[in-house]
Amino acid sequence: MLQFLSLATALAAGTLPHPASAAGLNEAATAIGLEYFGTATDNPELTDVPYVAQLNNTADFGQITVGNSQKWDATEPTQNTFSFADGDAVVSLAEGNDQLVRCHTLVWYNQLPNWVTSGNWTNATLTAVMENHITKVVSHYKGRCHHWDVVNEALNEDGTYRDNIFLSTIGPSYIPLAFSFAAAADPDAKLYYNDYNLEYGGDKATAALDIVAAVQDAGAKIDGVGFQAHFEVGTVPDSASLATILTSFTDLGVEVAITEADIRIELPATEEALVQQAEDFGALAEACVGVEGCVGFTIWDYTDRYSWVPGVFPGFGAALPWDEDLVEKPAYDGLLEGLGGEAE
Ligand code: G3I
């Protein structure tokens, strides 16, 4: 705590623009047994030269998630016409750095093109559309995706299935079907269910456990569950509680990962909030490190310059470990400590 406070003070005073660290986030993560520490990115940002220089820094990032350009509206904007250029650009960048790729995402209620949401489908025709989409996209990236987020955000907060065109047309079996189509197209990719607000346990987490069991019972392959970890500062569960939740999933024989972490702050961010944010990020990392089968930790972009948060939560921001000027915040050292590294 004291360390964070003094760091925040130094940052505010401009005396320590780049907190020196003993190791980078990915170096610390892999040293302590995770597969990677990584970040999401998106195509518009790839023209920002200083941004890309840090994105390429494998001491911090051993993994990249494709933030938008593998979603359905980007990859199949009109039926059976596929567009991979933007997704390819992100995957190629990661491959050029030997960074693992989390591919994101195949079946989601959001960012669907109109031809999907307004189609007049039957169970059979929409199943065929979903199979074609998954098969073409996963085959295109075959061998290049360490993980695929196959189904994203299929649950409401109360644990019921979220309404979407797939649920209303096909029923809950769209989930195991999606996993089986993805497995057929790339047997080596780790296939994930990915959602937010699973981190507190309760009805939604229980329903996610049921999804894992349902996919397994259907005889389909599911390898992991992604905990998105989108939080407001001060609401992050303590690391022991989160570790218990994560373990309830690994007990089913799947791995887990923190997939989209950010911790938003009401603006302007106070020094106290930045210190709390550092502790919160540290608790998340510590929970993952403490669970056998928690394989990696990804933040949802690395800099406040490109966070989705201010656009969706007016008055909030500062959610990431680097500020808008690409300067490390106290959260960076919080993460590093949670990953067992040493902040200098
Ligand atoms: O592609 C259009 C572009 O043609 C248009 O000119 C522009 C005008 O606003 O919008 C562009 O679409 C935007 C899209 O990102 C691509 O940049 C959408 O408006 C915008 O809503 C969309 O936001 C994305 C959001 O998912 C959509 O729900 C965020 O960038 C992305 O970070 C966010 O990521 C999600 C994960 O996929 C799932 N979990 C939650 C996470 C945060 O919301």
Query: What DSSP assignment string belongs to 273-331?
Result: HHHHHHHHHHHHHHHHHTSTTEEEEEESSSBGGG-SHHHHSTTEE--SSB-TTSPBPHH
Q: Is residue 23 over pLDDT 60?
A: yes
* Active site residue ranges: 153, 260
Q: To the nearest whole number, what is the mean pLDDT of the chain?
A: 94
Ligand 1 centre distance from Cα of residue 68 (Å): 6
Report pLDDT for 8: 42
CA 222 to chain centre: 17
Greatest CA span in the chain, whole angstroms?
64
Q: Is residue 314 over pLDDT 70?
A: yes
Q: Is residue 188 over pLDDT 80?
A: yes
Report pLDDT for 27: 98
DSSP at 34: -
Report pLDDT for 22: 58
CA nearest 227: which of 206, 246, 253?
Answer: 246
According to DSSP, the residues that pair with 78 across neighbouring strands are 81
According to DSSP, the residues that pair with 81 across neighbouring strands are 78
Alpha-carbon radius of gyration of the chain: 20
Report pLDDT for 344: 58
Amino acid symbol at 166: F
Amino acid symbol at 70: Q
Q: Kindly tell me the burial class for residue 5, based on how many C-beta atoms sit within 10 Å of its own C-beta (0-12, 13-18, 19 or more).
A: middle
Q: Is residue 10 over pLDDT 70?
A: no
Percent of the chain with pLDDT over 70: 93
Report pLDDT for 342: 78
Q: Whose CA is nearest to atom 17 of ligand 1?
A: 68
In degrees, rounded to 5, the angle at the alpha carbon of residue 145 between the alpha carbons of residues 72 and 159 is 60
Pocket test for ligand 1, best of 41, 42, 68 (most atoms within 8 A of CB): 68
Report pLDDT for 222: 99
Q: Which tens digits make up the pLDDT trace of 277-298?
A: 999 999 999 999 999 999 999 9
Report pLDDT for 3: 45
Tell me the H-state helices in the chain.
Answer: 2-13, 25-31, 49-55, 72-75, 85-96, 114-117, 123-140, 165-170, 174-185, 203-217, 239-250, 271-289, 309-312, 330-338
Q: Would you say the CB of residue 111 lies under 6 angstroms from ligand 1?
A: yes
Q: Kindly tell me the burial class for residue 249, based on how many C-beta atoms sit within 10 Å of its own C-beta (0-12, 13-18, 19 or more).
A: buried
CB of 108 closer than 8 Å to CB of 73: no
Report pLDDT for 2: 33
Q: Which tens digits make up the pLDDT trace of 89-115?
A: 999 999 999 999 999 999 999 999 999
Report pLDDT for 19: 44
Report pLDDT for 340: 95
Q: Which tens digits make up the pLDDT trace of 51-62?
A: 999 999 999 999
CB of 223 closer than 8 Å to CB of 192: yes
- Which atom of ligand 1 is closest in space to residue 312's alpha carbon? 43
Q: Is residue 313 over pLDDT 50?
A: yes
Ligand 1 centre distance from Cα of residue 42 (Å): 10
Report pLDDT for 221: 98
Q: Would you say the CB of residue 194 lies under 6 angstroms from ligand 1?
A: no
Q: Is residue 30 over pLDDT 70?
A: yes
How large is the average pLDDT for residues 159-164?
98
Q: Is residue 328 over pLDDT 80?
A: yes
According to DSSP, the residues that pair with 262 across neighbouring strands are 230
Amino acid symbol at 101: V
d(CA 225, CA 210): 12
Q: Would you say the CB of residue 67 lies under 6 angstroms from ligand 1?
A: yes
Q: What global pTM score does this model have? A: 0.94
